[in-house]
Amino acid sequence: MTTTEMVKVYVNQLCAEIGCTPESIYSKENNSWFFTRGSATVEVFMSSYETVVKTIRTFVRCFSPVYALPADSQKKMQLYQEALQNNTSFMGVKLSIMPDKGFMYAVAERDIEGMDYTEFKTLISDLGYWADQLDNI
C-alpha cells in the first residue's frame, strides 16, 4: 500500500537524483513541488477525495501550463479543437483548461495505490517531456 508519506519519500529521492532539495522546489502556499524540464514547469501535488463507499482515494496530480488562452473567441475555439484532436496522441497526458488561471495545461495523474518510485518518476518525466514539447508549439 502506497501512502502519502511514501510519495514524499519519492519526491525526496527524485530531488536527490536531479540535484536539488525538496525544500527548494516546494510551495507551502500551493502544497506542491515544482520541477522543471526544458522550458516547462511541472507542478506536482496530491489530491484526495472520499468515494461512495467512504474510502479515501489519493492521486498524484501533475500540471504544466502550455499555452495562454486567447481572448479572441474564434482563436479559442480553434485551440480547443486542436487540443481535443491531440488529446489522443499524447500517451498518459491530457490537455485541459483552467479558465480562472487563463491557461491550457498538460495534465497527468495517477492513483497512488500500488505506485512505486519508478511509476512516480515516469509520471513526472512523461508530463515534463510533453509539456516541454507543447509549450514550444
pTM comes to 0.91
Distance linking the first and last C-alpha atoms of the chain: 39
CB atoms within 10 A of CB 9: 13
Q: Is there a contact between 1 and 115 (Cβ–Cβ < 8 Å)?
A: no
Strand-pair category, 40-50 with 26-27: unpaired
Rg (C-alpha) for the chain, rounded Å, is 16
- pLDDT tens, residue by residue, 72-86: 999 999 999 999 998
Q: Is 44 exposed, middle or buried (0-12, 13-18, 19+ CB in 10 A)?
A: buried
Q: Given pLDDT bands bounded at 50, 70 and 90, which one contains residue 99?
A: confident
Q: Where are the beta strands (DSSP E) in the chain?
A: 26-27, 32-37, 40-50, 56-68, 94-98, 103-111
Q: Cell triple for residue 52?
A: 461512495
Using one digit for the tens of pLDDT, what is the confidence trace for 10-47?
Answer: 999 999 999 999 999 999 999 999 999 999 999 999 99
* Nine-digit cell string for 39: 522550458
Which amino acid is located at 126 in the chain? D
Q: Give the per-residue pLDDT at 101.
A: 92
Distance CA 22, CA 16 (A): 9
